[in-house]
Amino acid sequence: MRIHLLAVGTKMPTWVVTATEDYVGRMPAHCQVLVRELVAEKRTKSSDLNRICELEGEKLLAAIPAGSFVIALDVLGKAWSTEQLAGQLDQWLGSGQDVALLVGGPEGLSKACLQRADLKWSLSVLTFPHPLVRIIIAEQLFRAWSILSNHPYHRGG
């Protein structure tokens, strides 16, 4: 089973790439996390931000691997505790089906992405910068895996 982290935005700062790769690299082969960056549309003062969001949504939808369970990262989605995320990860692993996590650009996800999603997940009611979202997702997936594997990384309780 693979988790495809599909995110709008390229040319992330080195600290984002390093931190994301660190957590992704800790995941076991049977639960591989693959990060795919999609080029963001150019924005100007006169840009139609709704149209930009739609175009970025089209890119995200096109990048979803066939047969994947699709999860949209959305502030209005379901919030999970780390332990609940571990339960979700356990279900995903048990299904053997790939998972695609959709992370939109600065304007969020298009309506088409939200409609396509099998599930909507909210990391927080807070708004995070998109580069930081990648790190949070990678770290929380590793933490969830550590719970399932009785790895000492997660010491919460």
Q: pLDDT-derived band of residue 151, with 50, 70 and 90 as boundaries?
A: confident
pLDDT in tens, 126-145: 988 889 999 999 999 999 99
pLDDT tens for residues 5-16?
999 999 999 999
pLDDT above 90: residue 110: yes
Cα 15–chain centre separation? 18
Backbone dihedral region for residue 54 (phi beyond 0: left; psi -120 to 50: alpha; all else: beta) = alpha
Res 41: pLDDT: 95
Query: Is the model's pLDDT at 77 over the cut of 80?
Result: yes
Give the pLDDT mean for 70-92: 96
pLDDT score for 156: 58
- Per-residue confidence (pLDDT) for residue 154, from 0 to 100: 74
pLDDT tens by residue, 24-75: 999 999 999 999 999 999 999 999 999 999 999 999 999 999 999 999 999 9
Mean of all residue pLDDT scores within the chain: 95
What is the reported pTM? 0.94
- For the residues of 58-97, what is the DSSP string, one character each? HHHHHHSPTTPEEEEEEEEEEE--HHHHHHHHHHHHHH--
pLDDT value at position 152? 80
Token couple for 150: 């009785």
